[in-house]
Amino acid sequence: MTDTSQPVSLLGLPGSLRRDSYAKAVLAGLQADLAPDIRLEIGSIDLPLYNQDLDGHAALPAVDAFRQAIAAAAGVVIVSPEYNYGIPGPLKNALDWASRPYGKAALIGKPALVITTSPAFTGGVRAQDQIHGTLLAIGARLAGGPQIVIGSVADKIADGRLVDRASLDFATAAIRRMTAEIGAR
C-alpha cells in the first residue's frame, strides 16, 4: 500500500513543444485544480531525435533526466494535441526514448492517463488512439474509463490555464481514479 499521508506525485507531459501550447495550458489548469493530495509536476518532451546509436550505457543527460522523472513519478498524465490525425512527432520521439532500456524502461507498469486537445471540436481523438497504442507497446498501465478529449480548447483557456469547469471536472475525476488505483496497490 502507498503511504497516504504523502501526496501522490504525478508527471504531466505535454505533447507539444510550442511555447503557448494549449496542451501545456491544460496541464497548468489541472495542476492548479487538483486537491493537495495529488501533486502534478509538469515536464518537457524537448529531447533530441531518437537514435539507437546514442542510446548506450551512458544516456544523454536530457534523456537521463527524462527517464528519471518518469521513474520518480507514481503515474504519468499525457496531454497532447493531434498532428495530421495522429500522434505528434515530438511526443512519439519522447515515448521512444522512454521505452528503453529494453525490458527495464521506467514506463513499464507505470500508470498512464492520456488526454487530447484540439481547437477543433474533434478534440484530438485520433491521436489518442495512437498514443494508447504506443503506451501499450511499451507496457505502461493505461488508465481505463471514458476517453478524455477537450475540443474547442482555445475557448476554454484563460491566462495560460484551462478554466472550463466541465473539462476540469472530467479530467480531474479521471486523475483521481488513476491515483486511487495507485494507492490501492
Q: Which contiguous run of DSSP H or E holds residue 62?
A: helix 61-72
Closest distance of CB 15 from ligand FMN, Å:
7
Whose CB is nearest to ligand FMN?
Answer: 81
Query: Rounded to whole angstroms, how far apart are CA atoms 60 and 68?
Result: 12
Question: Does residue 80 contact residue 130 with C-beta atoms inside 8 Å?
Answer: no
To which residue does cell 491521436 refer? 127
Choose between 82 and 164: whose C-beta lies nearer to ligand FMN: 82
Q: How many CB atoms neighbour CB 21 within 10 A?
A: 19
Closest distance of CB 16 from ligand FMN, Å:
3
To which residue does cell 506525485 refer? 9
Q: Which three cell numbers stand for residue 113?
A: 492517463
Closest distance of CB 148 from ligand FMN, Å:
15
* C-alpha triplet 113, 116, 118: angle, nearest 5°: 170
Choose between 100 and 123: whose C-beta lies nearer to ligand FMN: 123
Closest distance of CB 18 from ligand FMN, Å:
4
Backbone angles phi, psi at 116, to 5 degrees: -115, 155
Query: Rounded to whole angstroms, how far apart are CA atoms 162 and 185?
Result: 31
Please give the single-letter amino acid code of residue 96: D
Query: Rounded to whole angstroms, how far apart are CA atoms 45 and 98?
Result: 10
Choose between 16 and 128: whose C-beta lies nearer to ligand FMN: 16
Closest distance of CB 86 from ligand FMN, Å:
7
Give residues in contact with ligand FMN (CB under 6 A). 16, 18, 21-23, 81-85, 118-120, 122, 124
Choose between 49 and 72: whose C-beta lies nearer to ligand FMN: 49
Choose between 7 and 43: whose C-beta lies nearer to ligand FMN: 43
Choose between 8 and 13: whose C-beta lies nearer to ligand FMN: 13
Closest distance of CB 115 from ligand FMN, Å:
11
